[in-house]
Structure 1
Amino acid sequence: MKAWLLSLLALPWLAMGAEQRLITIGGDVTEIVYALDGQQHLVARDSTSLSPEAATTLPDIGYMRQLNAEGILALRPTLILASSQAKPSLALEQVANSGAKVVTIPADNSLQGIDAKISAVAAALHKEPQGRALQQRLTTALSAIPSQP
């Protein structure tokens, strides 16, 4: 009887835990989340995430190179997608130790590095097919740019 009652009382907590609460750190990471239509889970972003404009309505956790674990944890995230340029890494380590999943997104700032960023974000959001489609659209758009002035 006690086990049944305890499991019944735990149901609302389990349902609440199933909701994903996403924080993005890095303007490029935030833009990719929106491009993959994953913004419905976003609860906050860092101050470098200014595009798309809708992202600016979210709470700001501060500058990506001056992170504070307490400010991030106050938002009860379940998933943090952080550019590898995000610092201090100790703050992200504290967040990870609290139970939130922290995924580091590559920060290669070249055209070739964009595919790796898209793949990493898409995998973290379980949106791999949308990620491949976004990569294809990007490849198509880049190939349309004239190579000569």
Structure 2
Amino acid sequence: MKWVIELALSAVVVGFVFYVLSANLPSPSYIASEREVTANTYFVLLRLSADPGFMALVENATCSGDQRAVDAIRTALDAMLPVRYYYNFTVYLDDVRPPTCRVCSSWGSKLASVARPWGYSPSGASVATISALLSDGTRVRLTLSLERP
């Protein structure tokens, strides 16, 4: 009779463990939603890098060091990205030869960064990174992180 009670108790414990583990796993709809956000992130970043007007804003922000130039990037991103997304857009130097306006910059240094809301740092879930060229031939790495609040 004791073994029946032990068997029933172990079945309850195993069932509880499976319940807890399955409750903590992300649902398939959540995974599909994250894939959609990641695909959207790459699409937006590729579209931005192909826009000469936006790349001129990026070059102006990296070279001038002026807050108004960085705010122009923020305005362009706010117009393109729906309000339901948090974002972080960062420009890194991806070349051993820095632009002529930032001669002291080293490879991998952060040239400009904007975020909505201010100070948002990316979680790493939906981060897209591509390389692009500025008008003087300097290669930069554009990183965009999107996240739904």
Shared fold, TM over 0.5 = no
Larger Rg: 2
Taking structure 2 as the reference length, the TM-score comes to 0.29
Taking structure 1 as the reference length, the TM-score comes to 0.29
| Greater relative contact order, per chain length (Cα 8 Å cut-off, separation 6+) | 2
Which structure has the highest strand share of the two?
Answer: 2
